Amino acid sequence: MAFRFSKRITLIPGVRLNISTKGVSASVGPRGLSMTMGRNGTFLNTGLPGIGLSYRQRLDSPRRAVKAPAFDPDEYSGSIKIKVQDNGTLLITDTDDTEIPASLVKRAKLEQAEAIQALLVKAAETVNKELYACLDVHMATPRPGSLPIIPSPFAVDAPSMPSPPPASLVDKMFRARKLERERQLAEVQHQQDMLDWAVARDTHEFDRTEIEKAFRLAAKGFSAPMEKALDYVLSGIAWPKQTLVSYEFSHDVTGVALDVDLPDESDIPRRTAEAKGNGKLTFKNRSDAQVRRDFVRLCHGSLFRVVGEVFALLPAIENCLVSGYVQRHDPATGRDEEPYIISALVTREEWSSLDFDNLESIDPASMLNAIGARVSLDRSSRFKEIAPYEMSDLG
């Protein structure tokens, strides 16, 4: 799969380079076309009035072979498309993905070096985005007391009844019954569309009202709404890698224990890209040691994010116990196991002391370790199994 971006820039007067969601193409105006037919054949003509740049393509088969003239890239007025391939090199073709002469490829690279570099930068950002999302998973953590986002009102317009095409006199005379049946069918379909729309609207608005009510009552400490609100918020987190969260409230509903099913170390992206200005992407593979450190950061950041969601959403919660585990295959036993690798007990007072105005300066691992998190790493930065905090530790 090629990387795809959206932008439009000027190539030369009358020539446009279009970087779109489907790739990059350079097109030459004007937008009008003409076709001529005569004794010499059928031709498609394009041209630029006033500057003499034109292109003529024969549409039918010639009656006899004619030697093709030498290709002149300065006289080319077709369209080209530029894509960044998965291996980081550029693929320059016409709009039908057909190879074009090397002289035209050279011209495109020369005239659009700046635009191509911008395209490569975007491609590098896309490659690196997945890794950065893992490393910065805690950056979306809400501050204490911030209000959750309530679903937007239903915004789909009601379906309108399609207007039938005007009937001619002949239609009215000989097709009246058929036209009436078509009108009735259209009316029935419109009524069904209106019914489906009304059901979707009412369902959306009911769910929206229920969530809003749950948020309001959760803020006052009611247990059932707290569960509903927490379900909604946790299920809406866009984790960079698959992450599952389960929880249980304490008997007095002032504490909550959360178990986080963390991703696997193999889920961490191992490749980064850079646009160095050499006309292609340069890839670099991260070492095994770097990947292990990245995984450690992802795990700590994920637990940090979960704690932040709880304290922001539920003012009645004073203590939050969060534990993360992974799924591993033990070759010694042949069994799949779920060892805990991090466990931390965080109080609201400790959480409120953090500077959420400088969230980028907070290291989740350092913060959790500072409050007594249970975590153990071997010399190669691999997690070792730990004994997590228990529900009884919530107090």
Q: What is the pLDDT of residue 171?
A: 67
Instruction: Band the pLDDT of 49: cuts 50, 70, 90.
Output: very low
Buried (b) or exposed (e) across 191-214, using 16+ Cβ within 10 A?
A: eeeeeeeeeeeeebeeeeeebeeb
Query: In terms of pLDDT, which residue wins out, 53 or 140?
Result: 140
With a cut of 70, say whether residue 52 has pLDDT above it: no
**AA letter at 273:** A
Query: Shortest CA distance to 17 belongs to which of 88, 110, 85?
Result: 110
Q: How far is CA 20 from CA 5, 65, 347, 389, in A?
A: 5, 39, 49, 52
pLDDT digits (tens, 9 = 90+) for 234-287: 999 999 999 999 999 999 999 999 999 999 999 999 999 999 988 899 999 999
Residue 29 pLDDT greater than 80, yes or no: no
If one compares 356 and 174, the residue with the highest pLDDT of the two is: 356
- 273, exposed or middle or buried, with CB in 10 Å at 0-12, 13-18, 19+? buried
- Dig out the tokens for 33 from the structure: 């076309």
E strand spans, the chain: 7-12, 15-20, 23-28, 34-38, 41-47, 54-58, 80-84, 90-94, 244-249, 255-261, 271-275, 281-285, 319-325, 328-330, 335-337, 340-347, 374-375
For residue range 111-166, list pLDDT tens digits in order.
Answer: 888 888 998 999 999 999 999 999 999 999 999 888 888 889 999 999 998 887 77
CA–CA distance, 393 with 346 (Å, rounded to integer):
11
What is the rounded average pLDDT of the residues 69-95? 75
Query: What are residue 20's phi and psi, to 5 degrees?
Result: -120, 180
Q: Sign of the CA dihedral 191, 194, 196, 199?
A: negative
Distance from C-alpha of 41 to C-alpha of 362, rounded to nearest angstrom:
73
User: What pLDDT score was predicted for residue 251?
Assistant: 93
**Domain map (residue ranges) of the chain:** 7-111, 138-145+223-394
Report strand pairing: 255-261 vs 319-325: parallel
> What's the Cα-to-Cα distance from 363 to each of 174, 211, 296, 300, rounded to whole Å?
80, 33, 12, 9
For residue 346, give the 3-state DSSP assignment: strand
Q: What is the pLDDT of residue 77?
A: 59
Q: What is the pTM (predicted TM-score) of this model?
A: 0.72
Q: To 5 degrees, how large is the angle CA 374–CA 321–CA 305?
A: 90
Quick check: 9 and 19 in contact, CB under 8 A?
A: yes
- Nearest C-alpha neighbor of 154 from the set 122, 202, 93, 225: 202
Residue 191 — very low, low, confident or very high, per pLDDT cuts 50/70/90? Answer: very high
Confidence at 58, pLDDT banded by 50, 70, 90: low
> Residue 60: what pLDDT?
54
**Contact by Cβ (8 Å): 214, 206:** no
| Percent of all residues in the chain with a pLDDT value above 70, rounded to a whole number | 79
Q: What is the pLDDT of residue 371?
A: 96
